[in-house]
């Protein structure tokens, strides 16, 4: 699987394109982007789904644009449904926007098979109640749960520092050195974070 990173929107949230041959999963489109559409078209990409790690506005602002463009399903945690439609909860209202998605998401199962992709959905509350990690063979898409040398905020709507600590303890138990692609900033590896991230100590 090939992973491509596209920081989008005012807060530069990472949108990811996951490629398996010419099949594509789009993760967390935080804005509409001609560059992404041109990239997918250049390789004759078939977008099988849009995946969301959580429902904050900087990760969902481009969902309707791309969903209409590719006529594909949108996957999210059931616990994030209220954030997708509520500008107060998803944080867009505080930035002078009112992002409310008019989509009917498909709720994640613990394991998903979409086109040629198979991945585990790892429930990871803390940054928000329905935050998830998307775990592929050797890759974790971590949303705003785990960053290089940091973690996501827990003081936003539906966040919890206690649940974040529980989530981090469960992440510590993962025994493979995954490449970690976070919601903001550069990629890292799970082993590096276990050894160096102050929030893992």
pLDDT tens for the chain, 201 residues long, are: 999 999 999 899 999 999 999 999 999 999 999 999 999 999 999 999 999 999 999 999 999 999 999 999 999 999 999 999 999 999 999 888 899 999 999 999 999 999 999 999 999 999 999 999 999 999 999 999 999 999 999 999 999 999 999 999 999 999 999 999 999 999 999 999 999 999 998
Is the full-model pTM beyond 0.85?
Answer: yes
- Could you give the dihedral angle defined by the CA atoms of residues 135, 7, 9 and 11, in that order, rounded to the nearest 10 degrees? 80
Structure confidence at residue 68 (pLDDT): 96
Q: Which residues contact 137 (CB under 8 A, 6 or more apart)?
A: 1
Q: Beta-carbon neighbour count of residue 3 at 10 Å?
A: 16
Which pLDDT does position 54 carry in this prediction?
A: 98
Which CATH number fits the domain 2-200, given the four candidates 3.30.465.10, 3.30.720.210, 3.60.15.10, 3.40.50.11540? 3.60.15.10
Where in the chain are the domains?
Answer: 2-200
Distance CA 58, CA 200 (A): 26
């Amino acid at each position: 699987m090939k992973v491509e990173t596209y920081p989008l929107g005012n807060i530069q949230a990472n949108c990811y394109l996951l490629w398996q041959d010419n099949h594509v999963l789009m993760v967390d489109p935080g804005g509409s982007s001609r560059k992404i559409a041109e990239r997918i078209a250049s390789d004759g990409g078939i977008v099988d789904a849009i995946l969301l790690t959580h429902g904050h506005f900087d990760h969902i602002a481009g969902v309707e644009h791309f969903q209409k463009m590719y006529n594909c399903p949108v996957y999210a945690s059931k616990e994030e449904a209220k954030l997708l439609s509520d500008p107060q909860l998803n944080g867009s209202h505080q930035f002078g926007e009112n992002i409310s998605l008019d989509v009917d998401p498909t709720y994640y199962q613990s394991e998903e098979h979409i086109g040629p992709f198979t991945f585990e959905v790892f429930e990871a509350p803390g940054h928000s109640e329905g935050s998830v990690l998307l775990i592929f063979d050797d890759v974790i898409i971590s949303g705003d749960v785990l960053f290089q040398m940091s973690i996501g905020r827990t003081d936003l709507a539906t966040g919890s520092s206690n649940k974040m600590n529980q989530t981090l303890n469960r992440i510590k138990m993962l025994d493979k050195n995954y490449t970690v692609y976070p919601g903001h900033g550069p990629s890292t590896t799970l082993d590096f974070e276990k050894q160096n991230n102050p929030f893992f100590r």
